[in-house]
Structure 1
Amino acid sequence: MRSTIRYVLGRLAGAAILLVVYSFGIYSLLALAPGDPVRLLLGTLPATPETLEAIRALYNLDDPFLTQYWNWLYNAAHFDLGQSVLTGQGVSSAIAERAGITAQLGALTFAITMIVGIPLGMAAGLKRGRLLDRVVSQAAMISVSAPSFAVGILLIIVFAGQLNWLPAIGGGSGGMDRLAHLILPAAALSTAAIALVVRYTRTAVIEVAGQDYIVAARARGLKPSRILFAYVLRNSLVPVITAAGVVLSFVMVGAVVVEATFALPGLGSLLVTAVQQKDLPVVQGVTLVMAATIFLINLLTDLAYLFVDPRIAVNGDSR
């Protein structure tokens, strides 16, 4: 029990430290960028003397850099990420409005990836070296090399343009309409992710299937289905959980491109728009939220190992 608590506390402390370091890097973008920070914060607004003075006062630009960072970090810890220079809207409010559709896209992508990827990976691992294994492995190699935006454009042309089965752009109005609008983006985003899960699962199944206890189970005459689910799948869960964590992180990063391709009003498109319009507070806020989400995903992945194999807390990370 004590080892488990130490393991959890160690992971929490590590995630907190990494997030603080990452937040420092995000905030430093303002100081590292060439030119006057006030001009950068102005974005495309007219640079009148009154506006320049207001921006300088709003962001405490006359204070030392570390003082500015501490104030920003303190406010961020209290869910205050500043204001958009262009719209005047709170960055936290803008993120809250957009986070829902990104979360829905991520959930649908994750579901598609795991439902398709795990069975294909298991089938390829159990049929190692045979035709099915070669076909699945080659397909995974091709799909992992395909850019999400290119796959998205192809899906739009085929399923929205030629077949007219699904909508091409926008987030829909909710319910089934929202689901219809998310199917193509989720399919584009899950293409490379499925290949990743297939490779992780296939490798794990091949390793587990060759263990002595699997051979012994077959010798005892156990049903193949019981061997598959009670022995092979159960003992392959740690690599599969690793793949699941990587997939969720990949979804957060890939959403930036996919949401822009399908004009989804999520965090990805908000970030792209903020970069184009040089709205630095929004860029900093969205980037920090995405980083915090990825750190949280990694933390939950680490904690999931304890549920699958409690020995990890004693022996350390077994990945």
Structure 2
Amino acid sequence: MSVHAAPPAALGAGSPRHNNKRLAVNVLKLVAARLAGLLGTLFVASIVIFGALYLAPGSPLTFLTHGRSMSPEAIAQLEQQYHLDEPVPLQYLRWLGGVLHGDFGTSILFHESVGSLLGSHGPITLVLVVLSAILVIAFGLAVGVFAGLRPGVASSSIMAAATAVMAVPAFVAAVVLTLVFAVVLGWFPVFGTGNGGLDTVYHLILPAIALSLASVAFVGRLAQAAIRQEMKADHVQTAISRGLPYRFVIRRHVLRNAAMPVLTVAGLTIAGLIAGSVVVEQVFQLNGLGSLLVTSVQQKDFPVVQGICLVYVAAFIVLNTLIDLAYSVLDPRVPASGRKQ
């Protein structure tokens, strides 16, 4: 009587190796789909940005000739130098071809390549957004977990304060924080970015708090609601009634399941910090992309505005892609589309 050995479990359809392979395939599909979507979105955004600037009142020629008495020949030379004499579709194609080769053009206002301007102003905005994101995740989750797991007067008070903070615009928060912590108490500098390194981080703490304050409150409320909902779930109540350790149930069942919706909203909120940084940079006089964008819009510096807007759009899409990838890691059941089927 012969006995045939069963195939190893590691090679089965439900084996860890098979699950890891399926997860890797889903992630690769997601990355490929998101890259295609990124290119398509950037293409559409480039058309909208380029067209909207030319539809707006005024032109770069107004800035170039402001306060100067110039002959028609000199004006024609300026138009030829900046290709303003060409049809708008041809100008767009010329600009798009340069972008595909890494050339965003030359600033009309600063007479410097847009790429170098983005490189010199971008780090300030990046550090500001990263600091704000850390505050949103750390304090937002801490507030939400505390309020969700410990209902009572303290929890209700925290959520009431969070609701009030959510209604405060970033520029109002920036002015109030500056008045209290910079002018009255003198704990932080009023404006500027410091001398680099830790001094720059110190100068950006107050702007980061102003930028992230409403988002911290929003993520905290969402985390509290998600945890409260998971605590009422049947499988959580069953696990508690069976005598499983409370901390194990909270960590394994409540926090893990509640992390999914919180992750989505927190990621989108952090992406929104990029746009909000424009206002905060103006209030604190930070020499970042936001301040550069405002100056360029006022002076009709089209190449700089187009370059910064494209960077903002690309950053938003990349953050959304990272959120979907995190979904796939936290829950292998999530397919390449980033949503459960």
Q: Normalising by structure 2, report the TM-score.
A: 0.85
Residue deviations 1:9-50, cap 9 Å, x none?
223222321221111100112331235x45256374747345
Residue type of the alignment partner of 2:138: I
**Alignment partner for residue 302 of structure 1, among 324, 328, 340?**
324
Is residue 20 of structure 1 aligned with residue 43 of structure 2? Answer: yes
Structure 1 vs Structure 2: percent identity of aligned residues? 39
Offset of residue 286 of structure 1: 1.2
1:71 is aligned to 94
Q: Aligned match of 2:111 in 63, 84, 88?
A: 88
Q: Distance in 1 between matches of 2:78 and 2:111?
A: 12
**In structure 2, which of residues 150, 159, 164 is the aligned counterpart of residue 142 of structure 1?**
164
- Measured on the aligned residues, the alpha-carbon RMSD in Å equals 2.3
Q: Which amino acid letter does the alignment assign opposite residue 233 of structure 1?
A: L
Residues 218, 315 of structure 1: alpha-carbon distance in 2 compared, 3 angstrom cutoff: farther
Question: In the alignment, which residue of structure 2 is the partner of 1:10?
Answer: 33
Tell me how far 1:90 sits from its aligned partner: 0.9
Mapping 1:86-235, distance limit 5 Å: 86-128=109-151, 130-235=152-257
Are the counterparts in 1 of residues 42 and 313 from structure 2 also a CA contact under 8 Å?
A: yes
Question: Take 1:43 and 1:154, find their aligned partners in 2: how far apart are those partners?
Answer: 40
Secondary structure at 1:312's aligned position in 2? coil
8 Å CA contact retained: 1:91, 1:285: yes
Distance apart, 1:316 and its partner CA: 5.3
**Cα 1:220–1:178 shift into 2, 3 Å:** same
Distance verdict in 2 for CA 1:159–1:38, change over 3 Å: closer
Structure 1 outlier segments of 4+, above 6 Å: none
Per-residue deviation, residues 199-219 of structure 1 (Å, max 9, x unmatched): 221222122222222112212
Residues 1:201 and 1:58: Cα distance change in structure 2 (over 3 Å): farther
1:125 maps to amino acid: G
SS of 1:17's partner is helix
Question: How far apart, CA to CA, are the structure 2 residues paired with 1:276 and 1:63?
Answer: 23
Cα deviation per residue 1:209-261 (whole Å; 9 max; x = unaligned)?
22222112212323222222222111122212212312221210111000110
Match of 1:241 in 2: 263
| CA distance in structure 1 between the aligned counterparts of 2:333 and 2:31, rounded to whole angstroms | 13
- Quick one: distance in 2 between partners of 1:258 and 1:50? 43
Matched, 1:263 2:292: no
Render the CA deviation track for 1:91-134: whole Å, top value 9, x for unaligned.
11111101111111111111111111102112222345x32332
Structure 2 residue matching 1:178: 3-state secondary structure: helix
Flag the 1:43–1:125 CA change in 2: closer, same or farther, 3 A. Answer: farther
Return the letter of the residue paired with 2:234.
D
Deviations 1:126-183 (A, max 9, x none): 345x323322221121111101111111111111111111111000012221122011
Describe the SS at the equivalent of 2:271.
helix
Correspondence for 2:4: none
| Aligned CA distance change for structure 1 residues 243 and 237 (closer, same or farther; 3 Å) | same
Instruction: Report if aligned partners of 1:23, 1:288 keep a CA contact under 8 Å in 2.
Output: yes
Whole-Å separation in 2 of the counterparts to 1:65 and 1:41: 19
Determine the C-alpha separation between the residues in 1 that align with 2:69 and 2:237. 75
* Partners of 1:45 and 1:86 within 8 A in 2: no
Give unpaired runs (5+ residues) of structure 1.
none
CA contact (8 A) 1:43 1:278 kept: no
- Cα distance in 1 for partners of 2:219, 2:65 equals 41
Contact 1:38 1:56 in 2 (8 A): no
Deviations 1:69-90 (A, max 9, x none): 2221221222211111122011
Distance (Å, rounded) in 1 between the aligned partners of 2:142 and 2:99: 42
Structure whose alpha-carbon radius of gyration is higher? 2
2:190 is paired with a residue whose SS is coil
Query: What amino acid is aligned across from residue 94 of structure 1 in structure 2?
Result: L
Change (3 A) 1:167 1:6: same
AA matched with 1:275: V
**Secondary structure of 2:335's match?**
helix
